[in-house]
Structure 1
């Protein structure tokens, strides 16, 4: 999170500002975000990848900010432990695979921070989800026991990906059913456009979920023939 607590091997001291700097009353506090510091040259950290199957926590830990406020979550049972500084995080997590990184509201912040009327990184904590298995392996095993190996197709109207105005038409595992659902939707919205002069033709989209890669891709209707 952007709390500017990285060590000086990442951040260099900014030059002294000259003259008067005017700011608004809320500018002193940065907005919540995950900040990624990138460089073309490797840092001077003695850390080699422990496995080719995924990133272990011991691989990630040296690159975390020094602090402040971490929640380490075990994906197997969603239990978690909180730590104030990176150095406090238990070594028992070192051999667990990194499943995901995010940010959430921190319920343990001081009262004066909680009462701030605006959102801030001060109210947040970094969440690191760990698993005993690599991410792809965990996803494949979880889904295969319930849904099989796919394919999985989503059909919806595309105002924008996951937009509030999208209308979800259905989720399908059969190419023929997906194609037919798409055709019905296109025909329906073409008729709607004819009835309403102010309404343009609605775009209908097919997205395929790639299980092995844990991602979506847009599919042309012709691909389902």
Structure 2
């Protein structure tokens, strides 16, 4: 069974930048907020999830030192990066109407930083790679997907060249899990099982 973007979308944090990449063409489409993403991606299948520094137009909330700034109309910002495809991946999935962590885990980028949080006791555990994440989380429900951003770096005086020297990479992908499914999300996606 494959995950379509319309199923994952409600779990994405509202206040993080999101970069969608089409797997067939490698075209990137960057959005400041989840609400900016058009519905046309809903039927596409999730191919992979991670974080990356991507190009965004200059942010009106960031102060720039114009004496050092080169004449560029964009800058790099961390974003949740989601690869989408017209075709589903051949990944086994549990049969259920809600997204479990074991369903999401195979789509996560392997070599990155993860912070797994549990809504039950508000505990969090840090993992250096996907393969380090314990199977103990497999049967928990996905509650949210976000990323940990150092806003002190983002919203300080920065120059274009500083973004490349001090690139804001290796942001933690935060996966919030719960013992119970979210009451405001019901999977209305047609479930597809791949043989």
Q: TM-score, normalised by structure 1?
A: 0.42
User: Which structure is higher in strand share?
Assistant: 2
Which fold has the larger relative contact order, with Cα–Cα distance below 8 Å and residues 6 or more apart in sequence? 2
Q: TM-score, normalised by structure 2?
A: 0.48
Bigger Cα Rg? 1
